[in-house]
Amino acid sequence: MHEMSIAISIIDIVESYAKENGAGKVLSVTVDIGDLSGVDAEGVKFCYEASCAGSLAQGSEIVINKITAAGWCPICETEFRPPHKFVMCPDCESFGCKIICGEQLEVREMKVE
Ligand SMILES: [Zn+2]
């Protein structure tokens, strides 16, 4: 289960952050999940809530910040929304496009006390 291992890594990250900052518990964590990360945001949220019992993250809130993917075509110099990682420019049909955004999966913000 991919989402479960991601949820557990997020809990590890927030717990070590809380410990480093001398905090007793985690209040919330905000996670950026890109459209193209291949991760099911709802699944991560579910697994996080199911796995945080007994950790410093118990009872904390996980906020998923979904990031809309963006691709860039250097030939027509346009930005577009790619449906998947292997992108073709919708205008010139070039395959030389770059994904500029949407693959991220990272903890953006944590609140502890
Ligand atoms: Zn193009």
Query: Which CATH number covers residue 103?
Result: 3.30.2320.80
Report CA(87)–ligand 1 centroid distance (Å): 10
**pLDDT on residue 11:** 97
Gap between the Cα atoms of 33 and 86, Å rounded: 18
| Ion ligand 1: residues, CB < 5 A | 73, 75-76, 89, 91-92, 94
Report helix, strand or coil for 57.
Answer: coil
Residues paired with residue 99 on neighbouring β-strands, in sequence order: 71
What confidence tens digit (pLDDT) does each residue in 21-79 have? 999 999 999 999 999 999 999 999 999 999 999 999 999 999 999 999 999 999 999 99
| Residue 1's pLDDT band (cuts 50, 70, 90) | low
**pLDDT on residue 85:** 85
Tell me, what amino acid is at 20?
Answer: E
Count structural domains, the chain.
1
Helix axis angle, 2-20 to 41-51, nearest 10°: 60
- In this structure, how many other beta carbons lie within 10 angstroms of the beta carbon of residue 110? 20
**Model pTM?**
0.86
Report CA(90)–ligand 1 centroid distance (Å): 7
Residue ranges of the alpha helices (H) in the chain? 2-20, 41-51
